[in-house]
C-alpha cells in the first residue's frame, strides 16, 4: 500500500520523498497544490506513484476511495508563512485539514506523522512540549498549537501512531520556492554572493548585535527523524525537532562567509575581522518587528531522545557548509 506525503512539493515534503526513494520506497502518492508551478522542481528528481491536488485528494478521502489503501500519511502540507494575516485561510489549511486527515487515519488505523512548529512557543523561554509553554505570537503559531491541542485531547482514542514534530529553524536544499520565508542560510548565501556583505539586526531582547540565538536544524536531520518514527510505529507523541543547541546569527553569518571563502581558497574570518572589513553590518529592525521577534529559541530534545532517537544532529558549522556546497553546485548547474 502507498505512503502518502502531503506538501510533497514543498521544502520538507520533497526532501522526505527523496529520502524515501533512497531507501527503495517508490509507492508514494504526492499531494500538494501546484498553483505555484515552480515547485514541481522539488519533485523532478523523485519517483512517485501518483500526484494529487490537495482538493482532489480530500474529495477522495471523503468518498472512501482510500479506505484500506494507505500504509501511512506524512502530513507536511500547510501554510507556513508566519506573516499571513488571513486567519480564516490559515485555520482551514493548518487546522481543519489536519483534523480531517487525522480522523481518517484513526478510522483506518493508519500512522499519521505531521508537521507542527516551534512557533507555538511564541516569545517564551521554555521550549518543552507542555501546553503551559505555548503562547503563539501569530495566527500561524496558533493554528499549529490548536491542532496539537486537538491531538492531545483525542490521544486516548488513538488506534494507530500519531506523531507531531515541532520544527525549529529548518534549512537545506529544496527551499528556493519559499522566497522571503526561506531559511536565513539561503538569504545569507544569496546576499553574500551578490554584495559581499551580510546585514544582521542590531541588538534586542537583552542580546547584542547579531547575538540573537535560534535553534537551526538541517533538513537532512529532520527527514532522518521522520523516518525514525515511520520505523518505530509504537512511538507516539509531540516532539521538538531542533539540534538542542542555539546558534547566534553572528555564528550563522560566519559559517556562510567561511564556507564561501573556503571555496574561493580564502581564509576564514573571526567576527571582529568580518565586521571591521565590512563583511557584516548591523541594521535597525523594521517598524513593528522588534516587539514580535523571537530573540532566543532552543529545542529541548528530552522527549525525542526518550522516544529512541539517538543519532547526533548536525552542528551549524557542518550543516551550513553542506548546504552552501549544494547552493554553489546549483548555481553552477543553472
Query: What percentage of the chain exceeds 70 in pLDDT?
Result: 98
Cα dihedral 305/303/134/95 (nearest 10): 90
Asked if the model's pLDDT at residue 334 lies above 70, the reply is no
Closest to 84 (Cα-Cα) out of 144, 173, 36: 144
The answer for residues whose C-beta is within 8 angstroms of residue 314's C-beta and 6 or more apart is 217, 218, 220, 221, 243, 322
- Read off the pLDDT of residues 61-91 as tens digits, 9 standing for 90 and up: 999 999 999 999 999 998 777 777 788 987 8
Give kind and range of the element (H or E) at residue 50.
Answer: strand 50-53
Question: Over the stretch 182-227, which tens digit does the pLDDT of each residue have?
Answer: 999 999 999 999 999 999 999 888 899 999 999 999 999 999 999 9
Which top CATH class is 3-167+219-242+299-313? alpha beta
pLDDT of 324 above 90: yes
Q: Is the pLDDT assigned to residue 11 strictly greater than 90? A: yes
User: Cα dihedral sign for 29, 35, 37, 42?
Assistant: negative
**Locate cell 535597525: which residue?**
284
Active site residue 54: no
Cα 202 to Cα 42, 52, 246, 250, 253, distances in angstroms: 35, 45, 18, 11, 14
Give me 161's grid cell: 501512531
* Active-site residue (options: 178, 224, 282, 326): 178
Average pLDDT over the chain reads 94
pLDDT at 333: 55
Read off the DSSP letter of residue 93: I
The candidate with the shortest Cα–Cα distance to 8, out of 185, 223, 218, 221, is: 223
Q: How confident is the model at residue 54 (pLDDT cuts 50, 70, 90)?
A: very high
Q: What does the pLDDT average to over 221-235? A: 97
Give dist(CA 123, CA 139) in Å, integer: 14
Give the pLDDT of residue 331: 65
Contact (Cβ atoms closer than 8 angstroms) between residue 110 and residue 39: no
CA 269 – CA 48 distance, rounded (Å): 44
| pLDDT for residue 119 | 94
Percentage of residues in the chain having pLDDT higher than 90: 84
For residue range 263-320, list pLDDT tens digits in order.
999 999 999 999 999 999 999 988 767 766 778 999 999 999 999 999 999 999 999 9
- Among residues 73, 78, 108, which one has the least CA distance to residue 9? 78
- Angstrom distances, CA of residue 180 to CA of 133, 261, 291: 28, 25, 20
Identify the sign of the CA torsion 64, 70, 74, 77: negative
Write down how long the chain is.
334
Domain boundaries, the chain: 3-167+219-242+299-313, 176-213+247-293+321-329
Looking at residue 248, its pLDDT comes to 97
Q: What pLDDT, on a 0 to 100 scale, did the predictor assign at position 151?
A: 97
Residue 225 · residue 151 · CB < 8 Å: no
Q: Which CATH number fits domain 176-213+247-293+321-329: 3.30.460, 1.25.40, 3.90.25, 2.40.50?
A: 3.90.25
In the numeric block, the cell 526561506 is attached to 182
- Known active-site residue 224: no
**Residue 330: predicted pLDDT:** 80
Amino acid at each position: 500500500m502507498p505512503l502518502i506525503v502531503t506538501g510533497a512539493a514543498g521544502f520538507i515534503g520533497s526532501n522526505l520523498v527523496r529520502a524515501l526513494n533512497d531507501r527503495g520506497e517508490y509507492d508514494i502518492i504526492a499531494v500538494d497544490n501546484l498553483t505555484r508551478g515552480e515547485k514541481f522542481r522539488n519533485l523532478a528528481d523523485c519517483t512517485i506513484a501518483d500526484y494529487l491536488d490537495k482538493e482532489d485528494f480530500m474529495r477522495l478521502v471523503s468518498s472512501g476511495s482510500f479506505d484500506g489503501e494507505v500504509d501511512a500519511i506524512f502530513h507536511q502540507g500547510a501554510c507556513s508563512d508566519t506573516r499571513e494575516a488571513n486567519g480564516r485561510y490559515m485555520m482551514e489549511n493548518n487546522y481543519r485539514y489536519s483534523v480531517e486527515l487525522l480522523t481518517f487515519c484513526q478510522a483506518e488505523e493508519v500512522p499519521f506523522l505531521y508537521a507542527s512548529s516551534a512557533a507555538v512557543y511564541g516569545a517564551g523561554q521554555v521550549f518543552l512540549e507542555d501546553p503551559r509553554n505555548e503562547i503563539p505570537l501569530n495566527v500561524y503559531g496558533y493554528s499549529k498549537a490548536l491542532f496539537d491541542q486537538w491531538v492531545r485531547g483525542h490521544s486516548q482514542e488513538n488506534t494507530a501512531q500519531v506523531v507531531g514534530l515541532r520544527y525549529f529553524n529548518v534549512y537545506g536544499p529544496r527551499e528556493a520556492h519559499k522566497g522571503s520565508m526561506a531559511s536565513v542560510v539561503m538569504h545569507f548565501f544569496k546576499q553574500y554572493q551578490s554584495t559581499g556583505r551580510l546585514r544582521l539586526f542590531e541588538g534586542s531582547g537583552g542580546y547584542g548585535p547579531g547575538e540573537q540565538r535560534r535553534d537551526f536544524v538541517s533538513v537532512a536531520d529532520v527527514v532522518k527523524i521522520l523516518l525514525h518514527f515511520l520505523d518505530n510505529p509504537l512511538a507516539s507523541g509531540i516532539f521538538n525537532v531542533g539540534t538542542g543547541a542555539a546558534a547566534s546569527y553572528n555564528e550563522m553569518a560566519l559559517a556562510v562567509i567561511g564556507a564561501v571563502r573556503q571555496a574561493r581558497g580564502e581564509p576564514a574570518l573571526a567576527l571582529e575581522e568580518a565586521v571591521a572589513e565590512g563583511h557584516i553590518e548591523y541594521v535597525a529592525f523594521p517598524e513593528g518587528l522588534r516587539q514580535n521577534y523571537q530573540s532566543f529559541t532552543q529545542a529541548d530534545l528530552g522527549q525525542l531522545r526518550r522516544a529512541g532517537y539517538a543519532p547526533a544532529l548536525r552542528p551549524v558549522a557542518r550543516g551550513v557548509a553542506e548546504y552552501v556546497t549544494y547552493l554553489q553546485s546549483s548555481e553552477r548547474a543553472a
